[in-house]
């Protein structure tokens, strides 16, 4: 049996904390998609965290029905590990990395001093970044960032590559998108549009955005397209956590995604392809107000 990652353990504890806050008792039902939206993370780590809770005997999966809470969890022995605080620190790391204030390699001690954190908090932070393919542990000591700081030429090259690939997703002969995925994705976007925006919201927004593009790539049925888009999501994750385009761009992005979903449901894949091209072209033209693209 594979041991859970630190990210999965952290999300599992956040789910249990959510259960306690909601006053749920044994026999209540949990929903993965709702949990992902409330915790501002993608569905994949939530699913893995729930599998971890199931192995502990706290929940049970029922096919086509949901996840049943088997026992009400007791208060955690370590309730101080605030997920919101971790996510806010991730945003600060993104800002400092792309502002040239963090080097390619850094020690835990330097991170503790810079962000006024204890070692457990820093270890939790870096484990989260490592699970998201942002950093890797160096041999023996310290951490290494896996992607370069912002570079305008790399930004433009990335979008030109995506313009070559993503509009073609809908035109692949095997393209097929499950209605359940469409419904869940629409709900996540509508939730984003209805909830107040705060600095740490950039993380949940990016993960929703990444799931949208990766889900469409997976629906193409072409493993090479899917692999390429997944890799692109990994490479741009940290820069998107440092969101500087304002809530107005969040609204535009979400509405463009919703328009594509409606077009897919109508079966007009040529129009969906054209909408994706326009969507990426507009995103490519964005320039950060701080001039650090």
Domains in the chain, please, with CATH?
Answer: 6-69 (1.10.10.10), 83-145 (1.10.10.10), 152-284 (1.20.120.530)
Give the model's confidence band at 26: pLDDT under 50 very low, under 70 low, under 90 confident, else very high.
confident
Which residues, in sequence order, are CB contacts of 149 under 8 Å at separation 6+?
A: 97, 98, 100
Interval 172-186: pLDDT, tens: 999 999 888 898 899
Give the model's pLDDT for residue 246. 81
pLDDT above 70 covers a percentage of the chain that reads 87
**pTM to 2 decimal places:** 0.61
Greater confidence (240 vs 29) lies with: 29
CA angle 13, 46, 52 (to 5 degrees): 60
Cα(224)–Cα(65) distance, integer angstroms:
33
């Amino acid at each position: 049996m594979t041991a859970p990652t630190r990210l999965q353990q952290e999300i599992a504890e956040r789910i249990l904390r959510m259960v306690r806050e909601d006053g749920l008792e044994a026999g209540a039902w949990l929903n993965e998609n709702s949990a992902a939206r409330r915790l501002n993370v993608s569905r994949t780590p939530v699913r893995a965290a729930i599998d971890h809770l199931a192995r502990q005997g706290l929940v049970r999966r029922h096919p086509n029905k949901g996840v049943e809470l088997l026992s009400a969890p007791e208060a955690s022995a370590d309730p101080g590990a605030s997920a919101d605080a971790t996510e806010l620190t991730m945003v600060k790391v993104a800002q400092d990395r792309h502002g040239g204030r963090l080097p390619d390699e850094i020690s835990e001690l330097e991170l503790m001093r810079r962000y006024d954190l204890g070692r457990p908090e820093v270890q939790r932070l870096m484990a989260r970044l490592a699970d998201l393919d942002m950093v890797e542990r160096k041999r023996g000591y310290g951490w290494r960032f896996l992607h370069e700081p912002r570079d305008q030429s790399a930004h433009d090259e990335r979008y030109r590559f995506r313009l070559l690939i993503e509009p073609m997703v809908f035109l692949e002969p095997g393209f097929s998108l499950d209605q359940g995925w469409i419904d869940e994705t629409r709900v996540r976007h509508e939730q984003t549009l209805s909830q107040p925006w705060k600095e740490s919201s950039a993380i949940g927004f990016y993960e929703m955005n990444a799931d949208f593009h990766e889900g469409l790539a997976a629906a193409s049925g072409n493993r090479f397209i899917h692999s390429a888009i997944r890799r692109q999501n990994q490479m741009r994750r940290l820069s998107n956590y440092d969101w500087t385009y304002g809530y107005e761009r969040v609204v535009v992005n979400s509405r463009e995604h919703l328009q594509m979903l409606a077009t897919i449901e109508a079966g007009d894949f040529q129009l969906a392809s054209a909408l994706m091209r326009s969507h990426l072209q507009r995103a490519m033209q964005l320039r950060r107000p701080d001039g650090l693209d």
